[in-house]
Amino acid sequence: MKILTVCGLGMGSSLILKMNVESVLKQQGIQASVEHMDVSSAASANADLVITNAELVDNLRHLSCPVVIVNNYIDSKEIAQALEQAGILTRGA
């Protein structure tokens, strides 16, 4: 499974989100390849799931994979909810 975390420049906040997504997945015993990148690169990338913020989601809606929104990149509960929404985590896990 390949997950992309996306921000405007792909350098800061997407890296923070990547590390926190990996932490949530690790806590649940789920293995995935998580990469961070900028919104332009993500628009043509292949992934099973893209996680970004509300401001950038319209740039990625054309992708064939689910695109979910996380606005607080350090909130593990919000990240877990986004992963539940995408079907990666089971509700209440």
User: Domain tally for the chain?
Assistant: 1
Asked if residue 10 has pLDDT above 90, the reply is no
Per-residue pLDDT of 68-84, as tens digits, reads 999 999 999 999 999 99
Domain-located, residue 8: yes
* 91 found inside a domain: no
pLDDT band for 92, please (50, 70, 90 cuts). low
Asked if the structure places residue 25 within a domain, the reply is: yes
- Per the CB < 8 A criterion, the answer to whether 56 and 39 are in contact is yes
Domain interval for residue 50? 2-86
| pLDDT confidence bin for 7, thresholds 50/70/90 | very high
Decide if 73 is inside a domain: yes
Query: Residue 13: what pLDDT?
Result: 93
In this structure, what CATH number is given to the domain that contains residue 45? 3.40.50.2300
The per-residue DSSP string of 12-76 comes to SHHHHHHHHHHHHHHHTT---EEEEEEHHHHTT---SEEEE-TTTGGGTTTSSS-EEE-S-TT-H
> Is 92 within the bounds of a domain?
no
